[in-house]
A and B are shown apart, each in its own frame.
Chain A
């Protein structure tokens, strides 16, 4: 799965998520990726989210909407993602990751799987990583 979340200078947000699914999936099986509130969610009043991981668990957890809802309460982006992933793990035993931006320009990424490649550009710097805790910054 791949995804993007973006916020512009005016605070407009968008997200997109795309996937080939899981190996050996049953023909016709659909995961979270095309489901609003599961695989992605965007609302200028809050921000934008794209998720990845076990599709069935993400759908049950409404993960993208869950994260957005926590952001709406005033929590920071990283805390919101952690809260969503923790909920999914504790209630459904599901694992995954998410990226998110707030409409104020805050950004975050978290994952409960062994790895998740991610990258973002902000203020002339390229940030990226793949391993837990890894966060490399390059000047552009």
Chain B
């Protein structure tokens, strides 16, 4: 089989100001993942490494650069899955962790569970030396501006997803 590593940086109405940085970020992540594969890493190593590269890039809505909840917190979700064993690990609403995918992998490999959420996920991460960081380290000026803009125009929380370029971009899963 010809190996391939593919990544994405989120499907939404990416504003022009983020086009170049987004493309540069996905190129870097794909190359990084492929290098891990060439160096003998497993497919799980590759998936984790590529996603960490994207989480660490403030351009993307994950890890550093995550968007904010209505009460200005950072809550993140992540999953990792191994196709050979169909084992999976996931975290939901984990707070203030730079790389949620690392915690997802630990859940997959160290517990009989598939998902840990909220406080339990943070507590589990801490047991493996992955501690919460100051949320300001994860919040970008862009995320703050986007929340402020949102609050200026509405106080209704719902999924605003629109196919047009004129859609109000409110992030994406």
Q: Which A positions have Cβ atoms within 8 angstroms of B?
A: 1-36, 39-44, 46-48, 50, 52-58, 94-101, 103-105, 107, 109, 111-123, 126, 128-130, 140
* Binary interface encoding of chain B residues 142-173 relative to chain A, with 1 for a CB under 8 A from any of its CBs, else 0: 01001100110000010111111101001111
Report the interface size class on chain B. 35 or more
The chain B residue with its CB closest to the CB of A140 is B31
| B147 close to A30 (CB less than 8 A) | no
Tell me, in angstroms, the Cα distance from A128 to B81 when the chains sit together: 24
Which of these, A9, A23, A104, A120, contacts B7 with CB under 8 Å?
A: A120
Query: Is B68 engaged at the interface, CB distance under 8 Å to the other chain?
Result: yes
In the complex the two chains form, what is the Cα distance from A25 to B92 in whole Å?
13
Could you pull out 13 A-B pairs where Cβ atoms are within 8 angstroms?
A: A13-B83, A19-B62, A25-B70, A29-B69, A30-B77, A34-B91, A46-B83, A52-B10, A114-B14, A115-B19, A121-B31, A121-B33, A128-B26
Residues in B neighbouring A15, C-beta threshold 8 A: 47, 79-81, 83
Candidates B62, B84, B93; contact of A30 at CB < 8 Å: B93
5 closest A-B pairs (Cβ-Cβ)? Answer: A20-B66, A97-B11, A55-B173, A13-B83, A31-B173
Residues of B whose CB lies within 8 Å of any CB of A are 1-14, 19, 22-23, 25-27, 29-31, 33-34, 37, 42-44, 46-48, 50-51, 54-55, 60-63, 65-71, 73-84, 86, 88, 90-93, 99-101, 104, 114-115, 117-118, 143, 146-147, 150-151, 157, 159-165, 167, 170-173
